[in-house]
Structure 1
Amino acid sequence: MKIQSTQDCSKRAFVSSTRTAIRARSPRSRTIFASIETCFEPDWCSGKAMPTRITLASGEPMGLAGLWAQWRLPEGETVHSFTMLTINADEHPFMRNFHKPQDEKRSVVILPPDRYDDWLQARASESGEFLRAWPAELMAIDKSP
């Protein structure tokens, strides 16, 4: 199995709600959630990008909303691709602290554990209800190496 990777593997949620993305979800693109322990965002407080490890304050893994697709290269090889959905975080008390000062602030979409199955079963028209910012008080910076 070949996995196609790009430097930026996130997709803005508002793009996902457009006709093109909805068409892409059916039948070749599907919802997925990725269970991760941490993600990294660039902290520019010092004037330089410093990778910052972000976790849930509880220490539990987080389930990120995403889409995956399987397609064939012209040569016939099957490729799998994955994108994490992101939302605007300009006003989010925690996530607005990351990325360059002049850049739009983005946040991955974290799914509540009791909604994983709902996300996986959701139609494209129902996806919007999941595109919510995770509460800032439930997020943390992990300073361990």
Structure 2
Amino acid sequence: MCSHYEAPLRQLLQAGFPSAAIPGAWDKPDMWPGYIGPFIRRPAEIDSGDEAVPPLEVLAGNFGLLPIWAKDESLAKRTYNARSETVAEKPAFRDAWKRAQHCIIPAQAIYEPDWRSGKAVPTRISRSDGELLGIAGLYERRQAAGGGWAYSFTMLTLNADTHPIFKELHRPDPKRPAELQDKRMVAILPRGLYDAWLDAPAAGSMEFMRMFPADRLEALAKTS
């Protein structure tokens, strides 16, 4: 499960998504649950017929999905990732999944712990071609205290027991149920599927939950 990643700064994000409007602002590139970072979606006015509406927009949201019923933002520390196998059933995620509130979470890299040495070694995972990672996610919105909307998002994850890179990461937690002991990875989208993911209906969402090829990723362990 991914709780730490690098969000691209505005210039790099614009280069990766040149057709996107980027009106939002976010805290910092170093992202943890509860921090404000960028996510990409279709504009609400995309079907209005107005040619001035861009095909994509970048919004700033809380890393950790906050459904309408959430009492405070502390829930984000438990909702930053959503298991694709159970996302349609879990109360925090099921409404966003049912409504196909798909988004793409841009990242320069994600960080995962490698425990093979007996200690957690932070490992930076990025695309080997230098492009941004486009992670499949869900977004939610609710009324902000000062008016307008407050957004939040979560990264979708899938089983990675056979993935050459991700199967080596994370330490098993004996306190967790056996069905939650599997190795996980975020759903990284190929660039050619970005539009299809954003436009997919809920019934087609699971088709995008595929392991990203290991030979298109680079994993570098932190040495100091």
Q: 1:140 Cα shift?
A: 1.1
Q: Which moved more, 1:95-104 or 1:4-13?
A: 4-13
The CA deviation string for residues 4-54 of structure 1, in whole angstroms up to 9 with x for no partner, is 642351111112244864543455x61000121100001112212121100
CA separation of 1:105 and 1:144: change in aligned 2, threshold 3 A: closer
Give 2:184's aligned residue.
Answer: 106
CA separation of 1:124 and 1:68: change in aligned 2, threshold 3 A: same
> TM-score w.r.t. structure 2 length?
0.56
- C-alpha distance in 2 between matches for 1:34 and 1:19: 21
Give 1:137's aligned residue.
Answer: 215
- 1:115 aligns to 2:193 (yes or no): yes
Q: 1:34 aligns with which of 96, 105, 115?
A: 105
The CA RMSD over aligned residues, in Å, is: 2.6
Give 2:27's aligned residue.
Answer: none
Q: 1:47 aligns with which of 108, 115, 118?
A: 118
Alignment of 1:53-72 (within 5 A): 53-72=124-143
CA separation of 1:87 and 1:106: change in aligned 2, threshold 3 A: same
Q: 1:3 aligns with which of 54, 62, 74?
A: 62
- Which amino acid is the alignment partner of residue 122 of structure 1? A
CA separation of 1:4 and 1:10: change in aligned 2, threshold 3 A: closer
SS in 2 for 1:90: coil
The CA deviation string for residues 48-69 of structure 1, in whole angstroms up to 9 with x for no partner, is 2121100112121110000000
- C-alpha distance in 1 between matches for 2:165 and 2:61: 36
**Identical counterparts, % of pairs:** 36
SS in 2 for 1:45: coil
CA separation of 1:104 and 1:58: change in aligned 2, threshold 3 A: same
- C-alpha distance in 2 between matches for 1:144 and 1:44: 13
Give 1:124's aligned residue.
Answer: 202
- C-alpha distance in 2 between matches for 1:16 and 1:58: 31
Q: 1:144 Cα shift?
A: 7.3
Larger radius of gyration: 2
SS in 2 for 1:47: coil
- C-alpha distance in 1 between matches for 2:61 and 2:212: 32
Task: Return the structure number with greater relative CO, CA threshold 8 A, min gap 6.
Answer: 1
Residues 63 and 111 in structure 1, CA contact (< 8 A), matched pair in contact too: yes
- C-alpha distance in 2 between matches for 1:61 and 1:105: 23
- C-alpha distance in 1 between matches for 2:81 and 2:61: 19
Unaligned 5+ segments in structure 2 are 1-59, 65-75, 174-180
- C-alpha distance in 2 between matches for 1:43 and 1:13: 23
More strand by share: 1
- C-alpha distance in 2 between matches for 1:62 and 1:127: 19
SS in 1 for 2:119: coil
- C-alpha distance in 2 between matches for 1:13 and 1:42: 21
CA separation of 1:7 and 1:68: change in aligned 2, threshold 3 A: same
- C-alpha distance in 2 between matches for 1:109 and 1:72: 28
